[in-house]
Amino acid sequence: MADGFSIEEAHATFNQSALSVDAKFDLQLSGAVSEALHNGVSIQLLTTLDLFTRRPYIWDPRIARWAFTQKIRYHSLTNRYILTSPQHKESRSYASLADLFSDIEHFSFQSDILGDTLPESKSGYKLRLRIALDNTILPAPLRVMTYISPAWKLRSDIREWPVVIEP
């Protein structure tokens, strides 16, 4: 399996009251990122989910964005990988990266915060999902490398699909 991030499956359901998204990621770190991780550099995965209103001729305005970060660091004393999710306010450790990624490769999201405030759209709505390595938290010297080296450009393609509001 090649290095990099990808979205294998994605599905969303949307009714008047709630949005539900399920997706499956395929996450593989590149050698450079893995080396940096094992040398004490923390990395962060950023999953973004955008909701747009579709319009026929002009650009589609974004009406909502959800961003999820997952921070990964290597604990050298215990040889374990620690996953911290600010959203879940918890920290879990894994014996291997494979275990860690198998735990987070399933993305599930539910939201009912839109409710009746969702603007009406005759053409419907669309969702965009993407997962990427967040380079903004990297130490300054590595930031330069991320612009130079493709090994640090880990990001999935944008998965976009229309959302049909179920009655």
Q: How far is the CB of 101 from other proteins (least distance, A)?
A: 12
Select from 18, 67, 95, 113 the one that contacts other proteins (CB under 8 A).
Answer: 95
| CB-based contact 119:47 (threshold 8 Å) | no
- Structure tokens belonging to residue 150: 């493709």
Q: How many residues bind other proteins (CB under 8 A)?
A: 34
Closer to other proteins by CB, 73 or 159: give it: 73
Select from 15, 17, 87, 91 the one that contacts other proteins (CB under 8 A).
Answer: 91
| Residue 117 touches other proteins, criterion: CB under 8 A | no
Nearest Cα to Cα of residue 69 among 31, 29, 107 = 107
Q: Which stretch binds other proteins (CB under 8 A): 9-17, 18-26, 52-60, 90-98?
A: 90-98
Coil, strand or helix at 82: strand
| Residue 69 touches other proteins, criterion: CB under 8 A | no
**How far are the Cα atoms of 79, 133, 156 from residue 28, in angstroms, in the given order?**
19, 11, 11
77: DSSP letter: T
| CB-based contact 156:6 (threshold 8 Å) | yes
Applying CB under 8 A, which residues contact other proteins? 35-36, 39-41, 74-80, 82, 84, 90-95, 99, 102-103, 136-145, 147
